[in-house]
Structure 1
Amino acid sequence: MSRPDINFGPRTLVARSKAGSFSARMQTRTFTVCAVVTLAAFLLATVALATGDFAVPLTEVIRALTGNADAMTTTVVTQWRLPRVLMALVLGTSLGMSGAIFQSITRNPLGSPDVIGFNTGAYTGALLVILAVGGSYWQIAGGALLGGLLTALVVYLLAFRRGSQGFRLIIVGIGISAMLAAFNHWLILQADLETAMTAAVWGAGSLNGISWSQAVPAVTVVTVVAVATLALSQRMRMLELGDDAARALGVRSETTRLLLLLLGVALTAAATAVAGPIAFVALAAPQLARRLCRNTGITLVPSAVVGAFLLMASDLTAQRLFAPIQLPVGVVTVSIGGIYLIWLLAREARKS
C-alpha cells in the first residue's frame, strides 16, 4: 500500500495517495478544530475511567488498559467503566452525524432527528418490543430501527410534494413526534409497574449499566453505517447547493436524499437501541461544529467529533454532579439543549 502525501496549504490540508486512487481535502482550521476537540473528548474519557467511588490513578488506568494492573483495578476500568465511556464516544459520534445529515437535508438548524420525530419513532419501536417481549439488544435495536424507518417514511410521504422541502419536513415531523410521544406515554401507562419503570428510566436516555454485550454490536453497527454515510458526504454537500445545481453535477437528488434519510435514521436507531432517546446532541453538534470551523455548510466529520465530545461531557456530568447518585445522561443533554434551543430560536427570530 502506497504511503499518502500530506500537504498543508495556507488554508487547506490535502491527503493524496501516491497512485492517486485516494484524495481527501480539509480546511486547516477544520482539521485543527477536529484534532483539538478529539483530544478534549479523550481527556474527558480518561477522567471518566479514573474517577468514581473507586478512584484509580492515571498510571493504573494505563496499566489496566494494557492488562498489567491487579484484578480488581482491571475489572473496574475495563469491565465497568470502559464500555460506558466507549458508548458515550461512539453514540455521540452517531448522533452528531445523524444531526448533520438531517440539518443538511432540511437546510435548517432545527432539522434534527429529535425535533423531526425520528428519535421518538425509534423510541416507539423499541418500547413496543420491550413491553411485548422484554427484548434482547438485537430485538430492541430491530424495533428501534423499524420504528424510526416507519416514522421517516410517514414524514417523508406527508412532506413530499414535487420533491421534499426542508421546512415542510420539519413541520410534519414535529406533528408526528407529538402524536408518537402521546402514544408512548399511553403505552407506559398500560404496562405493569416494573416494566413501566424500566421503560421510563430507559426512555430518559441513560448509559448506566452499559456492558460489553451491548457495546460491541453497537460499535459494529455505527461503524458500518458511518462509513456508508461518509461515502455519500460529497453528494450531501452538493445537495446543499439546491436540487437543480445537484442534478447539473450528476447527483440524483431525491435518491440521494432518501439514502441519507435511511442512514440518518439507522444512526439514530443505533443510539436509541443502546441508551434510549438522547435529545439535543444531534441538534447542537452540527451547529457548534459549523461555528467552530467557520464552514459555510454542515460537514460530517466535525459534527461527529463535536457530538462525541458533547455526549462524553454530558455523561461525565451526569455521573459526578450528584454523586453517588447517577443521573440519566438524557437529563443533562435536555437541560443543556434547552438553553441552546432558546438561544437558537432567539437568533433566528432576530434574523427574520
Structure 2
Amino acid sequence: MSAGRTVLPAGYSRLRAGGGTFLLHRRSICVATALSVLLAAAVVAYLCVGESFVAPAEVVRVLLGRPSPDEFVVGTLRMPRLVTGLLVGAAFGAAGALIQTMARNPLASPDVIGVSHGAGAATVAAMTFGITSYTALPYVSVAGGLAAALLVYVFAWRKGLDASRFVLIGIGISVALGSLTQLFLTKGDYLVAQQAKVWLTGTLNGRGYDQAAPLATALLLLTPALLWAARAQRGMSFDDDTATALGIRVGRIRLGLATLGVVLASVATGAAGPVDFVALLAPQIARRLTRTAHTPLLCSALMGALIVVVADLLARKLLSPIELPVGVLTAAVGAPYLMWLIRTRSRTGGTA
C-alpha cells in the first residue's frame, strides 16, 4: 500500500464526481437497484389491474408515450393515483429514516411524534367548519403537522434537543391531538364526519395530480437538504460523546434531520392522509437489507414507495368492488410489526 493512501471502510467504494469524492456502500447500491426493479414491476402491475385488465405490453406502450387503445384507462384514470402513491410512499419512507436517525430509536416515526395526528386534527377541524376542497385540505394538513411538530419541539427543548424526550413528548401530544380529532368528529356533520374518518385512515381514492403536485414540488426543493442529510446520517451512527469528539455538531444535525423529516411527513399526509406505519416499516426493512450502521435514506424512500403501491393495489382488489383505504392494509402489517419490535427491544434493551 502506498504511503498516504486513504484506506476505505469495508464494503465501500470511492466515487469522484464534480471535483468531490463520495463514498458509496456497495450493498446499499445493490439493494437500491433491486428495489427499483421491484418498484417498476409493481408499477406495471398496478396499471394493469383494475375494473378492466390491461395487458402489460399496452401499459408499457403508454408509459413510453406510444399510441394505445388503453391510453385513457392507464394514463388518465390510473396514472394520477399511482404517481401520488409513489410520492407519498417515498416521502414517508425518507421521513421515517430521518426521524429514526435523529432519535436513534426504531420506534420513532411521524405517527409517534404527533405529526400525523396534528395534520389529522387540523384537517378534521377544517372539514367540520365547511372546508372540504381537495385543493385546500393538503395545505391545512401541512400546517397542522408542522404546528404539532413545533409544539413537541418547544416542550422537548431543554438546553438542547434530547432525542428520548422528543419522542416521549411526541407520544403525549399524539394522544392529546387524537382526542381533539374525535371531538371534532362528534361535533361535525354526519356525512363530513364519515368523509373525515376515511381520510384519517389514509387513502389514495380520488387522489390525482392536484395532490401530487405540491408533494413533488416539496421533494424537488428539498433535494439539496436530503443530500446533506444522507451524508449527515453517517455521523449520527456514533454515540454523542464520540460524535462530539470527532467534531460533529450533534445538536444542529439532530435539529436539521428532525425538521426535514417533519416537513416531508407533513406534505405526504397532506396528499393522502396519515398512511400509518409506512414511515415506521420502510426504514427498518431497508436497514436490515443494507446492513448499514445508519438508516439508508434512498433505500428507505424506495421501500416506502413500494409498500404504498403494493398496499394500494391489494386494497383495490381484495374486496373488489369495494375499495379499502390504503392505510388499512399498511396498519394491518405495521401494527403486528410494532408489537414485535417493542417486545424484542424489551428483551434485549437495545437501541436502533
- Of 203, 209, 223, 1:212 maps to 209
Matched residue of 2:23: which SS? Answer: strand
**Cross-structure match for 1:154:** 151
**Cross-structure match for 1:47:** 45
Q: In 2, are the aligned partners of 1:102 and 1:112 still within 8 Å (CA)?
A: yes
Amino acid at match of 1:145: V
The within-5 A match list for 1:194-213 is 194-213=191-210
**Cross-structure match for 1:280:** 277
Amino acid at match of 2:343: A
Q: In 1, are the aligned partners of 2:237 and 2:293 still within 8 Å (CA)?
A: no
Matched residue of 2:293: which SS? Answer: coil
**Cross-structure match for 1:305:** 302
**Cross-structure match for 2:5:** none
TM-score, normalised to structure 2's length? Answer: 0.90
Amino acid at match of 1:32: C
- Higher mean Cα deviation, 141-150 or 342-351? 141-150
**Cross-structure match for 2:4:** none
* 1:137 CA displacement: 4.8
CA distance in structure 2 between the partners assigned to 1:16 and 1:228 by the alignment: 21
* 1:244 CA displacement: 4.2
* 1:249 CA displacement: 4.4
Matched residue of 2:40: which SS? Answer: helix
Amino acid at match of 1:217: P
> 2:308 matched to 1:315?
no
> 2:184 matched to 1:187?
yes
Amino acid at match of 2:261: G
Q: In 2, are the aligned partners of 1:79 and 1:211 still within 8 Å (CA)?
A: no
CA distance in structure 2 between the partners assigned to 1:219 and 1:178 by the alignment: 30
- Higher mean Cα deviation, 342-351 or 126-135? 126-135
**Cross-structure match for 2:3:** none
CA distance in structure 2 between the partners assigned to 1:258 and 1:281 by the alignment: 22
| CA RMSD, Structure 1 to Structure 2 (Å) | 2.1
Q: In 1, are the aligned partners of 2:233 and 2:295 still within 8 Å (CA)?
A: no
The within-5 A match list for 1:1-352 is 11-17=11-17, 20-70=18-68, 73-137=70-134, 139-352=136-349
Q: 1:84 to 1:252 in 2, by over 3 A?
A: same
Q: Percent identity?
A: 36
Matched residue of 1:14: which SS? Answer: strand
* 1:217 CA displacement: 2.6
Summarize deviations over 1:144-176 as a string: whole Å, max 9, x none.
222122211221222223322222222111111
Summarize deviations over 1:166-188 as a string: whole Å, max 9, x none.
22222111111011001001111
Q: In 2, are the aligned partners of 1:67 and 1:74 still within 8 Å (CA)?
A: no
**Cross-structure match for 1:4:** none
Q: In 2, are the aligned partners of 1:144 and 1:272 still within 8 Å (CA)?
A: yes
Matched residue of 1:223: which SS? Answer: helix
Q: In 2, are the aligned partners of 1:84 and 1:211 still within 8 Å (CA)?
A: yes
Matched residue of 2:22: which SS? Answer: strand
Q: In 2, are the aligned partners of 1:97 and 1:304 still within 8 Å (CA)?
A: yes
The number of residue pairs the alignment matches comes to 342
CA distance in structure 2 between the partners assigned to 1:248 and 1:62 by the alignment: 53
Summarize deviations over 1:179-226 as a string: whole Å, max 9, x none.
100100111111112211111111110011112222223222223224
TM-score, normalised to structure 1's length? Answer: 0.90
* 1:135 CA displacement: 4.9
Residue ranges of structure 1 left out of the alignment (5+ in a row): 1-7
Summarize deviations over 1:104-140 as a string: whole Å, max 9, x none.
1111110111012211112222323333342545532
* 1:240 CA displacement: 3.5
Q: In 2, are the aligned partners of 1:229 and 1:260 still within 8 Å (CA)?
A: no
Q: In 2, are the aligned partners of 1:105 and 1:240 still within 8 Å (CA)?
A: no
CA distance in structure 1 between the partners assigned to 2:309 and 2:341 by the alignment: 22
CA distance in structure 2 between the partners assigned to 1:56 and 1:249 by the alignment: 56
* 1:290 CA displacement: 0.8
CA distance in structure 2 between the partners assigned to 1:226 and 1:185 by the alignment: 36
Q: 1:259 to 1:128 in 2, by over 3 A?
A: farther
- Higher mean Cα deviation, 61-70 or 204-213? 61-70
Summarize deviations over 1:255-301 as a string: whole Å, max 9, x none.
33222222111111111111110100101111111111111221211
* 1:336 CA displacement: 0.2
Matched residue of 1:49: which SS? Answer: helix
Q: 1:252 to 1:130 in 2, by over 3 A?
A: farther
* 1:325 CA displacement: 1.2
Q: In 2, are the aligned partners of 1:149 and 1:262 still within 8 Å (CA)?
A: no
Residue ranges of structure 2 left out of the alignment (5+ in a row): 1-7
Q: In 2, are the aligned partners of 1:318 and 1:327 still within 8 Å (CA)?
A: yes
